[in-house]
Chain A
């Protein structure tokens, strides 16, 4: 019997040489006349160990990492195919503390299955949620999602059940499900990991959403920067269609759901749901006025559910185990789990799915292992490029939507980017304005002009010119952007800028207030 060897196809693992390692293992096995079966799985999310190779043994999977092509011959010499001892042997994968301490609901299968195999997916509890959903009424499906307490994981944290209920109760011959896979927030990669590591859970979630609200067409709006995700999604959609989990008369139920991936074209603002719909309609990605809500008049003017990848990928486990099961994780009004993405200057960067409520400090040190450079962590940006910077004094804040809002910060999509003491926060504030200049859609003045003026003022400030005049000017400008912008692009750029100014005034050449 051939031994199964897992080498991730995840693009971050590939960026560290996983394809070369997979080839080297295949060639070495041929050379030695050993029969092996190489499966390209998703990543377990422990990126300091990538490329991480796993071998299936009778006792479970044994991991080796980080493997370089030069290590492959010695791995065979050490009988790694039977879990042999080697300097890179990490023991049983499931026992690695970083993984063992997590609560993986949405990411339950990522790194375990062959991402595009429907058979493997079903063998690992896949499509159980859909099976239940097919036996429920539409209102019952929505009720499970409402009961779960799931809130939009894209960043806005709007209750998913309420959104679905609105679409369900808006009569229309045509409705749409859109998956927002325009994961443009820097410091985030959980959507990518799902799409590359377990795309079928997203497909199942979208299918359930379609059943719930009566939509027969879904679109995944995928950012252009993710070419690997595109290939894997398309392969998974083709396989799901062939297995009758997509298309007409799904599993003999008489229900229909079609799914298509559409690519963005490098515009951050298209992660905003109305700009996204404009883009899907073939237009420039300009933000729309709300109301009307997309749930009432969305894509092509039809009622539309727009949910983030993680929101939709969390639906199958909710429908499988019930809304209450999911709701029992978390704290306060933040229910369930949040896949956190540890990035930037951290020793152990990667994906950590936890119930809401752990503190930022626990995540940074217990999981992240402190900074990669070994210097103290000075600032952490949570929630993408529009999220606030937090100083060390705020590291004990629990990861909870309301707790973050109380300190004028956001959890957003769960991206956590750490900076060591070498960071210049005035430069980061200037960068935030520059990013807004680059990415503003241009529809509203506070964002379009405000960002350009903000960049100019920040340029004055980093050069320590007329601080008495320029700091109040920056604050006034941020006030206008915060209160006058049409969407979060201009409306939240002040979060990183003002949090940097308030928490790190010394970098701006002024004394703490």
Chain B
């Protein structure tokens, strides 16, 4: 809560402060806890509904803790043209989860993404901030080993 207060104090006077605040909160906590919505709303003179509306509108913001790392699979056309559909099901099988789920050991969450701008190296995935290109079922296994090292 101390962190959240500091973030709000630092950012609340920026024009259009809500998104920067939500980003800062999610960067430090990994998600935006529903219990801090009233605090943010009060600081920005907004209703709780408005803040909740923004959090729920954007795919990136989440209201619950994710796994230690988030795997994002690109579902867009360029990756589909290069076997993205097969890769998607291989990754789901490997991790044993579907989109918006977290592995039992809490290590990985899985999300879909529509384009990583890595379309010249399709199919692409992202794990946290790291982008990987020309991913295959085999290279995904190596990536997981590297990520867990």
Contacts and interface: CB of A to CB of B under 8 A. Distances in A.
A428 interface: yes
A342 B120 contact: yes
Contacts of A431: 77, 80
19 contacts: A183-B115, A186-B74, A186-B76, A187-B76, A224-B60, A225-B113, A262-B16, A265-B19, A265-B23, A267-B59, A282-B18, A284-B58, A350-B120, A351-B120, A415-B119, A417-B81, A417-B119, A428-B80, A439-B114
Contact of B78 (A263, A267, A344): A344
A415 B76 CA distance: 13
B121 to A, nearest CB: 5
Determine which residue in A192, A265, A431 has the highest number of CB atoms from chain B within 10 A of its CB, and name it: A265
A183 B113 CA distance: 13
Given A281-B16, A282-B17, A16 B60 contact: no
Interface residues of B, number: 42
B121 A47 contact: yes
A349 B82 CA distance: 12
Given A283-B50, A344-B81, 10 more contacts: A11-B118, A12-B117, A12-B131, A47-B133, A265-B58, A284-B57, A300-B16, A341-B119, A341-B120, A441-B57
A345 interface: yes
Interface in B1-58: 15-20, 22-23, 44, 50, 53-54, 57-58
Interface in B117-138: 117-122, 124, 126, 129-134
Contact of A381 (B77, B113, B124, B126): B77
Interface string A262-298: 1111111000000000011111110000000000000
Size category of the A interface is 35 or more
Interface string A239-273: 00000000000000000000000111111100000
Contact of A284 (B53, B74, B118): B53
B61 A183 contact: no
A11 B118 CA distance: 8
Nearest to B19: A282
Contact of B23 (A263, A283, A300, A420): A263
A349 B114 contact: no
A67 to B, nearest CB: 15
